[in-house]
Amino acid sequence: MRLILFGAPGVGKGTQAKILSAKLNIPHVSTGDILRLATREKTPIGLKVQEIMNRGELVPDEIITGIIQEKLSTDECKNGFILDGFPRTVPQAASLEKMLLDLGIKDINLIYISAVEDELVKRLTNRRACKVCNNIFNYSLIKDSHFCPVCNAEDSFYQRKDDREDIIRNRFEVYEKSTKPVLDYYKALLDIIYVNALNAVNEVTESIITQIEARIGEKLLISA
């Protein structure tokens, strides 16, 4: 099973990717996670993209494409994968098509998760991350707690720079200009799966799985 999760910042691509990765037993390939790890470890790529990410701008195509090509060529991804955060531009989409062709992959599904921008801005500015385990939480759920519910770190919550409203608004401008056209690119290639991001998390997951099963004509093997 090969999936591309597509949508504006804050629609829940990362959340759904993690859930689907566990249920379908295929790797979650997140460009955001890869780049944030690189910045924390201060690798050459990390140092190069830190300032770009802090401004809410897109990392250059050649950097992202190289990372994805390297990842998809590994044994880990040979039986499937979930792409989260790629492609974000039409040139990236064209590069991905060439990669998949070179790898002999034809069965790819694009899932478009959508919602109203103002609701997404509200959701993103309400996020807090744990500086120890890097999990992300809704501020309203952890505001009275001093301990991370995942790793139990004390006073570890913070707001990422790219979750500030000014940065988020800029990210939406970039999305509308550079990323949204990717949807039109794929409309000519794939039968896109549409889901509503504002539904409950489990409902979004169920909708994705149900639509995939309807498309392939069989039940997916779901892990508990």
E strands present in 100-224: 108-114, 127-130, 136-138, 157-158, 193-196
Nearest to 128 by CA among 112, 147, 104, 108: 147
Q: Out of 2, 36, 71, 88, pick the active-site residue.
A: 88
Paired tokens of 40:
């924390």
13 is catalytic: yes
- 8 Å CB contact between 9 and 120: yes
40 is catalytic: no
- 8 Å CB contact between 95 and 87: yes
Q: Out of 18, 131, 160, 164, pick the active-site residue.
A: 160
Q: Out of 48, 127, 131, 180, pick the active-site residue.
A: 127
88 is catalytic: yes
Give the other-Cβ count within 10 Å of 103's Cβ: 14
Q: Out of 36, 71, 123, 171, pick the active-site residue.
A: 171
Paired tokens of 19:
């859930």
Amino acid at site 169: R
The residues that are catalytic are 13, 88, 127, 160, 171
